[in-house]
Amino acid sequence: MNTIKERFKNINIFELMKVRSSVLTLHIFNVIDTEPLNNLFLTVYGNKQCSDICNLLDDNIADILLAKYYEKWERLYDEINDKLPLNNVVENYTENSKANLNNNITENNTTNNNKSGYNSDTMLPDDETVEKNNTINTHENSNEKSYTKTVKKASDIYLKKYRIDFLQKMNICDIIITDINTVLCLPIYIDEN
C-alpha cells in the first residue's frame, strides 16, 4: 500500500479539483491558493496509508471529492465572502413646538400730595398725579427638531456575531484538508523508520 506522499507526489489534488470544477465553478479555490493547500495536506497527512479510492484515476478521485464536498465548500465560500447584510429598521422622528407668550402689564402710579387740616387726623388730597405705564411683552418661540435613527435588528446582530465567531475559530484550510483526509486516507500512519 502506498502512503499519501507517494501517491500524490506529482499531483496537486486541489488544483485538479479546481480544474475539474470549472463547470460547477467551485469558488473556494479562487480564494485559497491550491499549491500551499496541497503542501499542507501532504505535510499533515502524507504518512497515512491511501484508501482504496486512491487506486482510481486522478480525475475520478477529483470527481468523487467534488461530488462529496462541493456543496459544503461552496457554503464555506459564501460564509467567507458574505458581506453579512443586516436588515435595518429606520425610525424617523420629528418634533414641532411653537410657543407664543404675551404679557400685558399695566401699572398705575398715583402720587398724592396730601395735607392735613388743623386738628384733623385725616389727610386731604391737595394735588394728585396719576401715571399710567403700560408694558406689553410679546415673545414668540418656534422650535423644530427632527432626526433619523437607524436600529439594527437583534437577530441580525446575533447572526453576524455567530458568523464572525465561526470564521475566527475555524480555519477553512483545516476543514478542507480534513475532508480530503476522510476520503483518501486510512486512519493508519506508516512509520518511516
Q: What is the pLDDT of residues 43-56, one digit of tens each?
A: 999 989 999 999 99
Name the residue with cell 387726623. 121
Higher-confidence position of 131 and 42: 42
How far apart (Å, rounded) are the C-alpha atoms in residues 145 and 13? 64
- For the whole model, what pTM was predicted? 0.54
**Is the CB of residue 149 less than 8 Å from the CB of residue 125?**
no
More confident residue, 36 or 154: 36
Per-residue burial over 25-38, b if 16 or more Cβ lie within 10 Å, else e, is ebbbbeebebeebb
Backbone φ, ψ for residue 186 (5° rounding) = -85, 155
Pick from 46-50, 95-99, 167-171: least confident: 95-99
Residues 12, 18, 21, 26: is their CA dihedral positive or negative?
Answer: positive
Element (H, E) at 96: strand 88-116
| pLDDT at residue 149, as a whole number | 62
Return the bridge partners of 111, or none. 129
The stretch 109-128 carries a mean pLDDT of 67
Q: Among 12-21, 103-112, 156-165, whose mean pLDDT is lowest?
A: 103-112
Model pLDDT, residue 79 = 73
Measure Cα distances from 140 to 33, 94, 110, 134, 137 in Å: 71, 20, 33, 20, 10
